[in-house]
A = this chain, B = another copy of it.
Amino acid sequence: MTLGRLYLVPNTLDFGMDGQTVDLREVLPDAVIAQAARLTHWAAENAKTTRAFLKRVDGVHPLALPLQQQQILELPRPPKGRTPAPSASDDAAWQALLAPALQGTDVGLMSEAGMPAVADPGARLVAAAHAAGVPVIPLVGPSSLLLAVAASGMNGQSFAFVGYLPTDGAARQARLKELEAHSAREQQTQLMIETPYRNSALLQALIQQLKPGTVLSVSCGLSLADAWTHSAPVSQWKKSPKSVPDKVPAVFAFLAGR
């Protein structure tokens, strides 16, 4: 029997941005919207946002199956945004998500925003697909990380996404020192994110703790109407402070001098 495929379906980046909803056609290729409309089985970070997404898809390309008849199962939830610690106990739950593909039906993997399995849960399902021989098809869509690298004007030949920094002040400072040294040694752009309500706190820590010559870039609300990116040496951020709103998703990046 032919196995189904696992499609990695990107979502928009307007999650939680009331009043700033983007048209799907702003950020997703037409063929990707059409492919999403053909799928009937989903592994979702969140079933509710997946349903909302499919309603928007239906407005562009009619769904193959009415929303009520689609199978939408949620991923087992690791602590949001931290590296998931695999446990044997939820192996069965992950296998259930893959079951339709093993029986020949394509499955879509979706997260609440952007590319699934990138800075988001789902990698474990992708790994399970590879182990089972299920073809994995990533579809093109928005990634705030990728957009932020391009928009930063920093080194795009070498860059790292390091996730979240520790929230504890001393631990965060130690981690920043470590990342800044690595950035200087490898000339590697370092990217990180924060839960939006801590955006300002992270920006202040970066400005105060990075070296004056390190270039710091903040990208805010990428792909949304009011998106902006500001890149300047830390010494300039100190002279002319610029604030980052605490409700909008932001990506922070820096590149240390040699």
Contact = CB atoms under 8 A, between A and B. Distances in A.
B31 A23 contact: yes
B136 A153 contact: yes
A116 B150 contact: yes
Interface string A35-47: 0000000000000
A173 to B, nearest CB: 18
A196 B83 CA distance: 33
User: Which bucket holds chain A's interface residue count?
Assistant: 35 or more
A161 B158 contact: yes
Contact of A25 (B26, B29, B81): B29
Contacts of A187: 83
B150 A118 contact: yes
A162 B142 CA distance: 22
Given A25-B29, A158-B162, A153 B127 contact: yes
A69 to B, nearest CB: 27
- Tell which of A8, A31, A124, A153 has the most Cβ of chain B within 10 Å: A153
A223 B140 CA distance: 7
B150 A138 contact: yes
Interface of A: 8, 23, 25-32, 81-84, 115-120, 122-130, 135-138, 140-143, 145-163, 186-188, 222-223, 227-232
